[in-house]
Amino acid sequence: MNQLVLLACAVCGAGEDRASGALLVMTIIISLLPLGMMGGLIGYFVYQSRKGDQAAEDAK
Amino acid sequence: MEAVVTNPVPERRKPVVPSAVLGTLIFVIAEVMFFAGLISAHTISRAGSLPGLWPMPGQPTLPAEATALNTVLLLLSGAVLFFGYRLWKKQSPVAHWVTLAAWGLGAAFVALQGVEWVALLSQGLTLRSSPLGSFFYLIVGGHAVHALAALVAMFWAWMQMARGQLTSGFFFGVQTFWYFVVLMWPVIYARVYF
């Protein structure tokens, strides 16, 4: 087989431990990142809602 | 005499978060995932490459030292924009000049990145020359597109600010978008250039 073809393949070492480790770590990050951001957004809504309620209470 | 019965109109509740703010936050979350996906693919491909083949022989290495200056300019731009926002809230007459300075620093970042691209292309690093080239142009190019769009929005905000017509909702959206561009860059820089 042409050696250049093998060199151009970015995943020739995909079976190695470091590649498996990178796959595992990135899977964890990609899975948790949207959950964290959604959690942050919900937390921001709750904070803004409580702030609005407090302002309305103070205005009475 | 008949009693007049009126139905009290319930007071309309103020939205918890303005629509412009909510829309911008959802957009930024989606964009963060876009870059997270690209960086994830890059990290896994790089970890799977055979030793000594990242970058591939004959391909240039990315100019990490030169890009450090661009990174400083971009981070400074974010800080200056925040300072401009604080001044604008206090109705300072120099707020729009500070905002323009933030825009200038951001534009300098994009221009210097363009110079870097020209140099790398002339050295043979193209979209199809190697996996590094593909990821580099895809990730850094994606960031540059976002930076350009944010610069257009920031310039628009600056013009409105200079005319005294800038709304807080629009400025919040522009700021959020620019802070996303600024804070995304160090992650890209650390993952792609080193």
Residue B36: predicted pLDDT? 96
Q: What's the N-to-C CA distance of chain A in angstroms? A: 81
Residue B6: predicted pLDDT? 66
Residue B124 lies in a domain: yes
Q: In the predicted model, what is the mean pLDDT of residues A18-31?
A: 90
Q: Which of A12, A41, A45 sits opposite B50 (nearest CB)?
A: A12
Task: Report CB contact under 8 Å: B44, A34.
Answer: no
- State the residue range of the domain holding B115: 63-192
Q: In the predicted model, what is the mean pLDDT of residues A34-56?
A: 92
Residue B180 lies in a domain: yes
Task: Report CB contact under 8 Å: B49, A11.
Answer: yes
Residue B48 lies in a domain: no
> pLDDT truncated to tens, each residue of chain B (194 aa)?
566 666 667 666 778 888 888 888 999 999 999 999 999 999 988 888 887 788 888 888 899 999 999 999 999 999 999 999 999 999 999 999 999 999 999 999 999 999 999 999 999 999 888 889 999 999 999 999 999 999 999 999 999 999 999 998 889 999 999 999 999 999 999 999 99
Task: Count how many domains chain B has.
Answer: 1
Is the CB of residue B131 less than 8 Å away from at least one CB of chain A?
yes
What is the value of pTM for the model shown? 0.85
In a mutational test of the B interface, the residue from A24, A41, A53, A57 whose CB has the highest number of chain B CBs within 10 Å is A41
Residue B137 lies in a domain: yes
Q: In the predicted model, what is the mean pLDDT of residues A13-18?
A: 66
- pLDDT band at residue A9 using 50, 70 and 90 as cut-offs: low
Residue B27 lies in a domain: no
How near does any CA of chain B get to the CA of A58, in Å? Answer: 15
* SS3 track for chain B: CCCCCCCCCCCCCCCCCCHHHHHHHHHHHHHHHHHHHHHHHHHHHHHHCCCCCCCCCCCCCCCHHHHHHHHHHHHHHHHHHHHHHHHHHCCCCCHHHHHHHHHHHHHHHHHHHHHHHHHHHHCCCCCCCCHHHHHHHHHHHHHHHHHHHHHHHHHHHHHHHHHCCCCHHHHHHHHHHHHHHHHHHHHHHHHHCC
Residue A1: predicted pLDDT? 47
We report the CATH number of the domain holding residue B79 as 1.20.120.80
- Residues B41, B129, B127, B65: what is their CA dihedral angle, to the nearest 10 degrees? 80
- pLDDT band at residue A54 using 50, 70 and 90 as cut-offs: confident
How far, in Å, are A7, B49, B120 from residue A13 at the CA level?
Answer: 11, 5, 27
Does the structure show a pLDDT above 90 at A15? no
CB B117 within 8 A of CB B60: no
Has the ipTM of the complex gone over 0.85? no
- Burial string for B169-190 (b: 16+ CB within 10 Å, else e) reads ebbbbbbbbbebbbebbeebbe
Residue B3: predicted pLDDT? 61
